[in-house]
Structures are given as C-alpha cells and as structure tokens.
Structure 1
C-alpha cells in the first residue's frame, strides 16, 4: 500500500516540476476575470510571508481572492503544500471505500470511532490546504487561515486517539493510569495544542524567539505521546507475526518521526538556498510524510476493526462509545472558539500597529 502511495506522490512531484504552461492557461481567461500575478522574490513580500532559505516563488499579497483560488494551478512555492493534501484526501476516501466494500455491511456503532478518524483527517487536510492556498492574501488572512489550520491539527490528534483507544488498546494498558484517563487526557492536550499554536502565532513576530517553539511543541508532543501510547504498548507486548496490523503501526510511527524532523528543521533548503523553492523544501516533504502516516493508520485501524468489531461493544459498552463520539464535536467547537478568540486578538493588534 505504502509503495503505491509513494509512487503516486512521486508522480505528483514530477508533475509539479512541469507546471510551466499552466500560468499561460490562466492568462487565457476572460479579461474581466481576475488572474494571479506572477510570483515574486522574498525581498518583495513582507517578512511575515517569508520562509527561511526560500528565495523565490512568493505570490504578491492583496490580490483578489479569486487569484489565490486560481493559484491552485499556478507554479509557486506553496503549490505542492496545497496539492499534497488535496490529493491525499481522495486517496484516503477511495481506500476507505474499498476496505469497507469488502466487509459487506459493517455500519454499526462499533465503526463510529473509525469514521471519526476519517473525518478528522479530512478536516485537517482541508484546513491545511486552505491555509497554504489563501495565506498570501494579507496579514490578517495569513493569521486567520493558520489559526484554522491549528484547529485541524488538534481535531486530527483526537481522531487518531479515538481509533487507537477503541481498536488497538490491550486490556493491560486500559487498566493502567494511561488507559483510565486516556480520552479526557487526549482531548485536553488536543485543546492545549490548539491554544499553544494559536498563542505562539498571535503573540510572536519574526525573528521568532525560542518561546514560540516551546508554546507550539510542548502540548503537541505530549498529545502525540499520549495518543500513541496504546500502539506502543501493543508493539511491545504482542507478536507482530500474529497481528499484521503491527507492521502498519510501525510504519505510521516512522513516517511521523520523519515528519517531525522536516517540520522542525528547514531541510534540505538550508543546504541549498533557492534550489528547493518550488519543489522539494522541508514543509512539502512534511506534508507528504503526514499523508503517508494517515494512510498507514487507516490500514492498521481497519485491520484491527475488521478482526475485533464483534467485540468492541462488549469490551467498551455502547455508552462509552457514544460519549467518546460526543466529545469529538465538543473538542472541535472548543478549538474553534480558541481560533476565533485568536482572530479577534490579532485583528485588534494589527489595527493598533
């Protein structure tokens, strides 16, 4: 599965390199219809929009909103950031459809956590794609769309936690302190992840101090370690030969660890300034690895669901499954309130400046 995905993403990367004729197609639109302006260098955009070691491919700000929508078909330094998640979403849905088609009629209460995992991933992809597509419009838009991006990340973290808890966790782990407080703990840390990222984005300006990374990374790292704990426990206590899903869990952990490296450090553009502007910079690689992480999670969780679905309700009870599912929109609303408050704070701050 991961080989097929890698092949498709490689094809996407090669296609982006040949996007040269696309701006010409945009120029053939009717003259009354707004078209994106040519990209500019880093020195021609405000510091807020510049990324380290990315020297070209920036879209001018204060264009018509339609220009940024149409820049989906323009060659710029955010193109692959947008397309990597736009294409991953239908891949995820197609795989979901093919897997469930093989089960006949799998739709009962035991499948709800798995459905929420899919919803959380698609929501995260949508927020991320929108953020990278529209963030160049203005300073205010830049902040707003990335606040929503952080909501998507927090919701995705909790969606993963639900899947791991109901399909992967073992009885011994559920009896531990981690198991007893897992769902409220992951919900709280997901909310704190959203708060930390929004505060760091709203409060600090470039050049960013170390406090910004601390606000972003500490709650996010804690949320990940707690959310992945049932998987790690299973990896350490069960036979991988007897449970093929463990191999996919190993892959999802490896892909995510690679994600964290490319998210935290400007690799490879640090070593090749200006050479990775359109294709190949670290955030693009991070997006592709995150897509692979999600696909591996889906494979693993589906295998465990298909094997244990008859026992899920007996083990957890209908009430716990329903309460866990109700907590999902509650967390989403709480994170949205954090984002809206951050938008209001940023709006007032920009007006004062």
Structure 2
C-alpha cells in the first residue's frame, strides 16, 4: 500500500550487492502506531511468498494410508514434499508442527544441561562419570533424531519408513542409555557384583537390537495387519522399559516395605515411572485424539506429549 511504502523501502545489500533487503524509513514504533497490525500481516504474507512456504495442507482422505494417523483428520503435508518443503513446513501450522518443535527445543535444553555438567564433572578421567556421559549423549541424540524423522517423513512412502526406522533406533538407544545409567547408579546393594549386574547391560543391548528390529518390522505389516503392527510396536517400546527399570522397581519395593528410606532421588524416579506409564497408556490408546477425531489435529495429540 501507499502508506506502507512510506515506512518500508527495499535496498540492495551494500556489502556484496546481493538481493534487496527491507529497510525501515521510520522507527519501528511509527509503523505500529499507524495501523500496524494490517501492515504486519501484509509483511507476513509477502515474506511467506518470498521464502515459498508450502501451502498445501490435506485431509486424511487426500493422502495415502501409510501417511495417516489414528484420530488425525486434517493438517497433513504433501506426501511428495521436497526436503526444503519439509524443512519450511516446520514453520507452518500442520499436524506435525508441534511434534517437531517439542522434540527440537528439548534437544537444546539437554545440550545446555550437558555443557553445564561438563563444566563440573570430569567426564574424561573420572570413570564413575562415564555412564552419565553415555546417558547425556544419548538423551541429546534421541529428540534430535526424532525431530528430523518427523520433519522429513513426508518426502515419499519409502522415506517415511526410513525416517521412522531412525526414530525407533534412537528411542532404543535412549532406552539403552537408561539401562547403562541404572545398571551403575541405581543397582541395589544386594545386587552389586551379582549375576544380574554382570549381565544387565549385555541383555539391555540385546533388547535394544531385538526391539528395534520388531518396531521396524511392524511398519511392513501395518496396512495389512494394523492390530499386529500396533502390538509389535508397543511391545518393542514396553519390554526394554520394563527390563531397564527392574533395579529401580526393586528399590521402590524395598522402600515401600520399610527396608530403606525413600530419598529425594528415588522420589523423582517414582514421578518418572508414573509419567512413563501414563505416556505409554495414552500412546497405545491414541488419547485424546481418538475420543474426538479432528479436535486435536494441531494441538494436544499424544505424539507431541
């Protein structure tokens, strides 16, 4: 508009003669004072067109079955998106946007915590800290891998399977990291140097390999046998969790029976177990989106929890 042109002009980048960039002729507050909301909306639409954000959002009946999610009716991206479209779609509201960002942002939080620990813990020379090092590395790898898997999962049916293979593998690695940390730090005193402790981590490694294979195989039978696929995938997540937390369960039982006190660390572990079981139940039941299909297409679906 004419008023907008008084506030914003386009100039060539003086550093390298590159593309034109927007320059405000007046202070930014002046733009907002003179009907700024409409102008900001205009800038958004221009910028959206300039970077070519993907605009196609599809309903469930418009995408192949392999891309469909239970209880999610709308908000699907193009099933043949380019890599650039997939990246740009994370800045556009669709049924994967919240899921992507709830994995991407925690990655940076865990990295920040990792660097804070690195400033106080000698990970290189203190062997007692090595299990913690492994756990922190894997807890940073898992959400970032899952974020990438959800970003690029709509390039093709084949790429969707491959992306989720990496997602399942990263989840199994995170489970293995939990097993390693539990095996060194949570093992009850009566189990130290026992057969259980000596074979705990090797069995956890075998569980990770087996359950990753199960979850990947479940994708091949998903369309023909959806119930079998769901059972395999759920079992692939539940079995490692149950095995890895055996030492923790034992210590909680000892606390309930009065053999030892329930310290602050153990209380935090109990909250972790509670939320883990709740998440498993909601993920298996596809709640709340199954109760109201279409209501939680963008916000509140269990995949983003």
Matched, 1:158 2:170: no
1:135 match: 153
Q: Deviations over 1:103-150 (max 9, x none)?
A: 465652221111111111121112211111111111111011001111
Equivalent-residue separation in structure 2 for 1:148 and 1:160 (angstroms): 18
TM-score (norm 2): 0.78
1:209 aligns with 2:223: no
Aligned counterpart, 1:145: 163
| Larger RCO (CA within 8 A; separation ≥ 6) | 1
Q: Which residue of 1 aligns with 2:270?
A: 250
Task: Tell whether 2:228 aligns with 1:218.
Answer: no
In the other structure, the counterpart of 1:334 is none
Match of 2:282 in 1: 262
1:39 to 36, 42, 57: 57
Q: State the TM-score, normalized to the length of structure 1.
A: 0.68
Q: Is the 8 A contact 1:173 1:233 kept in 2?
A: no
Quote the residue 1:339 is aligned against. none
How far apart, CA to CA, are the structure 2 residues paired with 1:237 and 1:132? 41
For residue 89 of structure 2, what is the aligned residue in structure 1?
Answer: 71
3-state secondary structure, aligned to 1:28: helix
1:198 to 209, 216, 227: 216
CA distance in 2, matches of 1:46, 1:255: 33
User: 1:168 — aligned with what?
Assistant: 186
* Cross-structure match for 1:321: none
Q: State the secondary structure of the residue aligned to 1:181.
A: helix
Match of 2:203 in 1: 185
Mapping of 1:101-140 within 5 angstroms?
A: 101=119, 103=120, 105=122, 107=124, 108-140=126-158
Aligned to 2:47: 28
Q: How does 1:182-331 map to 2 (within 5 A)?
A: 182-201=200-219, 203-206=220-223, 208-238=225-255, 239-241=260-262, 243-285=263-305
Structure 2 CA distance, aligned partners of 1:148 and 1:210? 22
Question: Residues 222 and 229 of structure 2 are in contact (CA less than 8 Å); yes or no, is this contact kept in structure 1?
Answer: no
Q: Is there any run of 5+ residues in structure 1 with no aligned partner, and where?
A: 1-20, 286-353
Larger Rg: 2
Matches of 2:261 and 2:46 in 1, distance apart?
A: 55
Q: Find the aligned partners of 1:240 and 1:95 in 2 and give their Cα distance.
A: 28
Q: Structure 1 stretches (4+) deviating beyond 6 angstroms?
A: none
Which of 40, 56, 60 is equivalent to 2:74?
56
> Residues 112 and 275 (structure 1 numbering): CA distance in 2 closer, same or farther, change over 3 Å?
same
Shift of 1:223: 1.5
Instruction: Confirm or deny: 8 A CA contact 1:158 1:187 kept in the other structure.
Output: yes
Deviations 1:43-72 (A, max 9, x none): 111111111221111111222210110111
In the alignment, the residues of structure 1 paired with residue 137 and residue 44 of structure 2 have an alpha-carbon distance, to the nearest angstrom, of 34
Aligned equivalents of 1:26 and 1:208: distance in 2?
Answer: 44
Superimposed CA distance per residue, residues 173-229 of structure 1 (whole angstroms, 9 cap, x where no aligned partner): 23554323211111001100101011111x213264332233323343222111111
Cα displacement string for residues 291-311 of structure 1 (whole angstroms, at most 9, x for unaligned residues): xxxxxxxxxxxxxxxxxxxxx
Residues 124 and 230 (structure 1), Cα distance of their counterparts in 2 relative to 1, 3 Å cut: same
C-alpha separation in 2, matches of 1:100 and 1:234: 29
Q: Number of paired residues? A: 261
Note the residue ranges of structure 2 that are not aligned, 5 or more in a row: 1-39
Question: Which whole-Å CA distance do the structure 2 matches of 1:47 and 1:274 have between them?
Answer: 17
Is the 1:190–1:220 Cα contact (8 Å) retained in structure 2? no
CA contact (8 A) 1:124 1:156 kept: yes
